[in-house]
Amino acid sequence: MANRVSITLLVSLFVSSFLAASAGNFYRDVDITWGDGRGKILRRGNTLSLSLDKTSGSGFQSKRAYLFGRFDVQMKLVPGNSAGTVTTFYLTSQGNKHDEIDFEFLGNQSGNPYTLHTNVYTQGQGNREQEFRLWFDPTFKFHTYSILWNPQRIIILVDNIPIRVFSNLEAIGVPYPKNQPMKIQASLWDAEDWATQGGKVKTDWSMAPFTAYYRNFSALTTDSSGFKGWLTQDLDVQGRKLLRWVQKYYMLYNYCADRRRRFSHRECTRSRFL
């Protein structure tokens, strides 16, 4: 209980420096790009639903591409037996040398928690996975998921709590996404061959259609009016404490600690995750 109270106090101190932009409108800001009617914009553009059945999943994409920004969306994930499903929210450019910053939520059997899978691609190279359990049920109500991307660092946040930092370490030869504008994409799709317990648990299609909800999408970019502190945003003392809390109690996997895969990523030689 004491640990939970102290974390709540840290969040209240930290969150003011990470306030999101005002909500956008899905009619104005995105296109539903696939799914043959399985993606729907609701509530005058404030909410969007994606559905998956045995025939197809669905997805949407921002109308604009962005070079740096803070991107927020509230999501409520597929409830119940979501095994085999993957719900996503990510930034990506195009081509073989693309950049990408990922949120992927891997479903599980009823009563078991989701896995939050994050990854960063630079110039077409990924394999920078970090995975987490969430400290709440992401299917019960909406929670906020955010990507802050500026020239110095990428900060990935859940309910304004930082869970991951990827710093610009070009000085030691680590590529950093800074030249390719990226679009927001989101999807709900079937990945039963790998998503749940390495593919051991398959999708139960008797539970279909599976549906996830998105609302209050916002993008704070260089074109936005007002405060642009995000362009140089870093973690303060409270933010670093919150990051350590998440990584101590909720991190499941860190590519830099995986000796079996023997990654040679240069950033793994630097203690830049805290």
Positive or negative CA dihedral for 168, 242, 82, 34? negative
Question: Other C-beta atoms within 10 Å of 162: how many?
Answer: 24
Distance (Å, whole) CA 56 – CA 66: 28
Instruction: Output the six-digit token pair for 175.
Output: 């590529």
Query: For this structure, is 104 an active site residue?
Result: yes
Burial class (CB in 10 A: 0-12, 13-18, 19+), 141: exposed
- Residue 76, strand partner residues: 213
Distance (Å, whole) CA 84 – CA 193: 7
Q: Are 168 and 153 in contact (CB under 8 A)?
A: yes
Q: Give the H/E segment covering residue 73.
A: strand 69-76
Q: Which of 100, 129, 192, 267 does the annotation list as catalytic?
A: 100
Positive or negative CA dihedral for 117, 166, 59, 24? positive
Classify each residue of 31-59 as buried b or exposed e, where b means 16 or more C-beta atoms within 10 Å of its C-beta: ebeebeebbbbeeebbbbbbbbeeebbbb
Positions annotated as catalytic residues are 100, 104
